[in-house]
Structure 1
Amino acid sequence: MKELIVRTLSGVLYISIVIISMFTSHEWFMGLFFILSIITLSEFLKLVHLKSYLAYALLAGLLYFFSYSIFDINAVNLLLILCCFVNLFLLKDVLWVSKIPMFQKKKYVAIILYLISGFVFLTLIPVYNESFIPEIIGGVFILIWFNDSFAYIVGKNFGKRKLLERISPNKTVEGFIGGLVGAILAGFLIFKCLEIYKPELTVEFTLIIWVIMAVIASVFGTIGDLIQSKFKRQAGVKDSGILMPGHGGLYDRLDSIIFASPFIYAFLQIAYYVS
Structure 2
Amino acid sequence: MSNLLKRSLSGIIYVLIFLSAILISKESYIALTSLFGVLCIWEFSKLIDFKGIIGYIFFGLTLFLMLKRPDNYAVAVILGITLLSSLSLIYYLFVKKEVTFSNDRSKLGLLIRYPIFSMIFLVFLPIYQGEYNPYLMISILIIIWVNDSFAFLVGKNLGKRKLFPSVSPKKTIEGFLGGLVFALIAAIIIGTFNDDFIIGNWLIIAFLVSVIGTIGDLIESKFKRQANVKDSGDIMPGHGGILDRLDSLLFAAPFVYLYINFII
- The normalised TM-score by structure 2 is 0.95
Aligned to 1:182: 182
Instruction: Please report how far the alpha carbon of residue 71 of structure 1 lies from its aligned counterpart in structure 2 after TM superposition.
Output: 5.8
- Which residue number corresponds to residue 97 of structure 2? 98
Rounded to whole Å, the distance in 1 between the matches of 2:10 and 2:221 is: 21
| Residue in 1 that maps onto 2:171 | 171
1:1-275 matches, cutoff 5 A: 2-66=2-66, 68-70=67-69, 73-102=72-101, 106-194=106-194, 202=195, 204-272=196-264
TM-superposed CA distance for 1:209, in Å, is: 1.1
Moved more, 75-84 or 106-115: 106-115
- 1:62 and 1:147 map into 2 onto residues whose CA distance is 31
Could you tell me whether the CA contact under 8 Å between 1:161 and 1:173 is conserved in 2? yes
Q: Flag structure 2 segments of 5+ consecutive residues without an equivalent.
A: none
How much does 1:53 deviate? 0.5
Task: Give the AA of the match of 1:155.
Answer: G
Q: Which moved more, 1:139-148 or 1:257-266?
A: 139-148
The alignment partner of 1:163 has SS state of: strand
Residue-by-residue CA offset, 1:8-40 (whole Å, 9 max, x unaligned)? 110000000000000111111101111111111
Output the CA distance in 1 between the equivalents of 2:38 and 2:238.
21
CA–CA distance in structure 1, aligned partners of residues 18 and 69 of structure 2? 23
Shift of 1:95: 1.1
Partner of 1:8, secondary structure, is helix
Question: TM-score when scaled to structure 1?
Answer: 0.92
Deviation at 1:79? 0.5
- Looking at structure 2, the residues matched to 244 and 143 of structure 1 have their Cα atoms a distance apart, in angstroms, of 22
User: In the TM superposition, what whole-angstrom CA distance separates every residue of 1:154-194 from its partner, at most 9, and x where no partner exists?
Assistant: 11111111111101101111111011012112212222343
Task: Find the aligned partners of 1:6 and 1:72 in 2 and give their Cα distance.
Answer: 43
Deviation at 1:102, TM superposition (A): 4.5
One-letter amino acid matched to 1:233: R
Change (3 A) 1:128 1:103: farther
Q: Which amino acid aligns with 2:93?
A: V
Q: Is 103-112 or 117-126 further displaced after alignment?
A: 103-112
Cα pair 1:162 1:169 within 8 Å, conserved: yes
How many residue pairs end up in the alignment?
263
DSSP-derived class of the 1:23 partner: helix
Q: Which region of structure 1 is more displaced relative to structure 2, 7-16 or 72-81?
A: 72-81
- 1:123 CA displacement: 1.2
Alpha-carbon distance in structure 2 between the residues aligned to 1:228 and 1:243: 17
CA shift for structure 1 position 70: 2.2
Distance 2:102 2:153 in 1: 32
Equivalent residue of 1:106, what SS?
helix
Q: Which amino acid aligns with 1:10?
A: S
SS at match of 2:132: coil
Distance 1:167 1:103, change over 3 A: farther
Residue by residue, what CA displacement relative to the aligned partner does 1:86-105 show, whole Å, maximum 9, x if unpaired? 00000111111431124877
| Distance in 2, Cα, partners of 1:113 & 1:128 | 23
Higher mean alpha-carbon deviation, 222-231 vs 176-185, is at 176-185
Q: Does structure 2 retain, via aligned residues, the 8 Å contact 1:128–1:265?
A: no
Distance in 2 separating the partners of 1:181 and 1:139: 16
Q: How far did 1:138 drift? A: 1.2
Structure 1 residue ranges without an equivalent (≥5):
195-201
Q: Distance in 2 between matches of 1:192 and 1:103?
A: 50
How far 1:52 moved relative to its partner? 1.6
Sequence identity percentage: 40
